[in-house]
Amino acid sequence: MSDLSQKDLDELGVYDTPTILNALEIVAPERRATGFTVRSMHCLRPEKAAIVGYARTATIRSMAPHTGPNVKQIRTEYYNYVENGGPAPAISIIQDLDEIAGFGAFWGEVNTNIHKGLGCLGCVTNGSMRDLPDAAEDFQLLAGEIVPSHAHVNITDFKKQVNVMGMIVSDGDIIHADQHGACVVPHGVVKDVPGAAELLIRKEAVILAACKEEGFGIERLKEAIGDSDDIH
């Protein structure tokens, strides 16, 4: 069970992912250079507000047929994990282990609808997606590639730590994701992040307003930066 409420998650969802990461620099400064995706990704719904939920982690491969006898069992157990493996809502975080990550797409019309039905808000993966017009309504996808085939794609493991585009994620981590990418928000600072975000927004507003003034120049900029620094 999580000690966080849906309201706590909803309050994070008000902000975009860059703002969340700016706020984390205040409330968890040790996270300044870790805990977020570091490569450009394809976003299925760039217009959509951020999704915030609990990580369900898995690994996949697609370049060769699965050699074990339990491919269907593993897939079914993974789906059960998505629905029942922890607090809701879930966000699937899938690492493609193949040499060519994204060779075959796990994400398409069928899996987006399955995951949405199981209470999942979206996915972040270094793998690929397809069937873009037919993806489940309002389901968010951030993927490394867009490809036409699913090839031999299969789940190889789940509920283990994964690395997706440089973001290391463990089962149950709080994930915040939007068109810019994704990050992990440490459980212990979730309730502190909105206040820090609002402080930064107020500080930035002083500089942004000055930039739009007639006659703006370096002297006005220095003044605005000083005024911004005085906001606590």
| Res. 1: pLDDT tops 60 | no
How sure is the predictor about 201, in pLDDT bands with cuts at 50, 70 and 90?
A: very high
Place of tokens 């047929």: 65
| Res. 218: pLDDT tops 60 | yes
Average pLDDT over residues 83-89: 98
- The 10 Å Cβ neighbour count of residue 170 is 13
CB 203 within 8 A of CB 166: no
Tell me the percentage of the chain whose pLDDT exceeds 90: 91
Residue-range domain boundaries for the chain? 35-185, 194-229
CB 140 within 8 A of CB 122: yes
Residue 172 to residues 51, 86, 147, 204, 215, Cα–Cα distance (Å): 15, 7, 29, 33, 51
Average pLDDT across the chain, whole number: 96
Tell me the percentage of the chain whose pLDDT exceeds 70: 99
CA atoms within 13 A on the CB side of 167: 33
Predicted TM-score (pTM) of this structure: 0.95
The Cα 60–Cα 150 span in angstroms is 11
Whether domain 35-185 has CATH 3.50.30.40: the reply is: yes
Question: Quick one: pLDDT at residue 232?
Answer: 65
Question: Quick one: pLDDT at residue 162?
Answer: 99
Name which of 48-62, 161-175, 180-194, 211-225 the model is least confident about.
211-225
Cβ neighbors of 157 (< 8 A, separation 6 or more) are: 58, 59, 74
